[in-house]
């Protein structure tokens, strides 16, 4: 019976090594690194397109709908900055001076 247990251990080590090789071959180590940010687009340009955003340890999936698809951008109205504490600051175009 101990021989079967040893075979199970060997199979588990082989499976983990295979998973590591798979992750390395597809160059997706960033998905495992909690300090890296990654954006993945699935089915680009299709009606069922998804955008997967990983920021640190948080992963969000955005499903693109028809309303979100194509729009024409005519200009900018300002810039939004993210602060260290997670807040956001909006600065109108031209610095707010009128």
Give the pLDDT confidence of 79-98 residue by residue, as tens digits: 878 888 878 787 877 755 54
Closest to 80 measured CA to CA, from 96, 92, 72, 68: 92
Q: What is the pLDDT of residues 63-76, one digit of tens each?
A: 877 666 566 777 77
Total count of domains within the chain: 2
- Is this prediction's pTM over 0.75? no
Would residue 93 count as lying in a domain? no
Would residue 76 count as lying in a domain? no
Would residue 44 count as lying in a domain? yes
Domain identity same for 38 and 67: yes
Would residue 25 count as lying in a domain? yes
The domain containing residue 41 runs over which residues? 33-71
Would residue 2 count as lying in a domain? yes
- Look up residue 17 and give its two tokens: 């090594």
Would residue 1 count as lying in a domain? yes
pLDDT exceeds cutoff 70 at 3: no
Would residue 9 count as lying in a domain? yes
């Amino acid at each position: 019976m101990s021989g079967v247990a040893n075979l199970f251990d060997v199979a588990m080590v082989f499976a983990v090594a295979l998973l590591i090789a798979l992750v390395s071959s597809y160059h997706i180590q960033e998905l495992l690194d909690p300090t890296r940010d990654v954006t993945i687009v699935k089915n680009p340009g299709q009606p069922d397109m998804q955008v997967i955003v990983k920021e640190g340890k948080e992963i969000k999936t955005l499903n693109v709908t028809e309303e979100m698809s194509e729009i024409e951008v005519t200009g900018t109205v300002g810039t939004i900055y993210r602060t260290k504490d997670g807040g956001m600051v909006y600065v109108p175009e031209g610095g707010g001076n009128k």
